[in-house]
Amino acid sequence: MTAGIAVQQEVSLRKRMPLRHFRQLPGPEARRLFHRQPEPFGDDNTDRELLAIGLGATLYAPATRPDLALTIGRRAGHGVCSMVIDLEDAVADHEVEYAKRQTVDALDLLAGSHDANPLLFVRVRDADTITELIEQLGPGAKVLTGFVFPKFDSVTGPKYLNALNVAAQRLGRPLYGMPVLESAGLVHRETRDYELTQIAALLAAHRDRVLAVRVGATDMCSTFGIRRDRDLTIYDVRVVADVIADIVNYLGRADGTGFVITGPVWEYFADHERMFRPLLRTAPFEESDAVPFRQYLVSRDLDGLLREITLDRANGIQGKTVIHPSHVAAVHALSVVTHEEYSDALDILRDDVGGVAASGYRNKMNEMRPHRSWARQTLLRARVFGVANKGVSFVDLLTALVTV
């Protein structure tokens, strides 16, 4: 037996640490914060919908980074549970071949680690690149979760999904696709309904292969020559907000035909001269004795991100694309199910007799049938992000994540 084969067998037998949100928190801190701890997820037996909810903050990294594998391992150690190696917009045209080699080398290196890797995806430029990468991958095929399809529409979609099916069959294991909806045909009002109808039918035919639908708001803004200001959320840009609403309408239904839809990227991560008042109320930070921490969030433009995450959830969107590690904690802190939400969800799902009842928190009415879909999704989120202890707020969670 050669030394190389022996090393590969040792790696394959090595037990990989489970992927779990908030695993970077010390045990006593996690017990203080959580009523129900997040569950491990991410193996081949994880339910597809649970895996999609578990994406959380999906961090993009250019494939041209010389320390790509090291960076991915370091981000995983700080709580990142999903990453995209970007071969598209983040890579200059003359560096594409180098970026592909970097991608293959990084995945092969990560396959030899016993640490928990994030869910790893590659954003390709075209469908042919999927086949090219699969042919070149060695042990790295085991740590590849799937591919991200940019500018996915009724024309490019079939090529992407067919290439994905061939790749999964070749590897003999699940591979997932995440289409990015951002093309001009989808944005333009006169062609949007046609495109969404075609995309909905296409994704339905490949449901088991589609993990989540991603929203590319930057390209949508580009269609109109817009770059949104950091004082505004994407929902303040009405022409884009209208597109997002239609995407959720066609593809985010809770009747079994929909998909998890993830939120668009927040582009900013440094302080600037403010035109408008900060978007964070002071009271929650006073209650947690964290007023200086509020000022830190405002100075890093994270108050706008926190508001946009809240609006994402209000509009039927889970998780978010992020381009800076400082954004991950904000997305994950606001993904934890509050004790109040958990209590309401359990009450709503306890029986199916209908009717209404006062919340256990005595501050709202729970309607048993209309709220069942919400309750079911809340309990799915509770499994991967956990449930906060009574009295623990997002401020406590975010403070713990930022200071760990």
pLDDT at 283: 62
pLDDT at 352: 79
Ramachandran angles phi, psi of 205, nearest 5°: -70, -15
**Closest by CA position to 152, among listed 115, 118, 101, 203:** 203
Rounded CA gap, 200 and 194, in Å? 10
- Asked whether 152 and 183 are in contact (CB, 8 A), the reply is yes
Q: How many other CB atoms are found less than 10 A from the CB of residue 48?
A: 17
Where b means 16+ CB within 10 Å and e means fewer, 231-251 reads: bebbbebeebbebbebbbebb
The DSSP string of 130-145 is: HHHHHHH-SGGGGGEE
- What 362-371 contacts at long range (C-beta under 8 Å, 24+ apart), as own/partner pairs, is 371/344
pTM above 0.75, yes or no: yes
| CA angle in degrees (0–180, nearest 5) for 372-377-383 | 130
User: How far, in whole angstroms, is CA 287 from its chain's centroid?
Assistant: 30
pLDDT at 257: 96
Rounded CA gap, 21 and 336, in Å? 10
pLDDT tens digits, the chain, 404 residues: what are they?
343 434 344 444 445 677 999 999 999 999 999 999 999 998 777 899 999 999 999 999 999 999 999 999 999 999 999 999 999 999 999 999 999 999 999 999 999 988 889 999 999 999 999 999 999 999 999 999 999 999 999 999 999 999 999 999 999 999 999 999 999 999 999 999 999 999 999 999 999 999 999 999 999 999 999 998 888 899 999 999 999 999 999 999 999 999 999 999 998 876 555 445 555 666 666 666 565 555 556 555 677 888 899 999 999 999 999 999 989 999 999 999 999 999 999 999 997 778 899 998 989 999 999 999 999 999 999 999 999 999 998 888 988 998 87
Rounded CA gap, 224 and 245, in Å? 18
β-pair type (213-215, 176-181): parallel
Model confidence pLDDT, tens digit, residues 376-404? 999 999 999 999 999 998 888 988 998 87
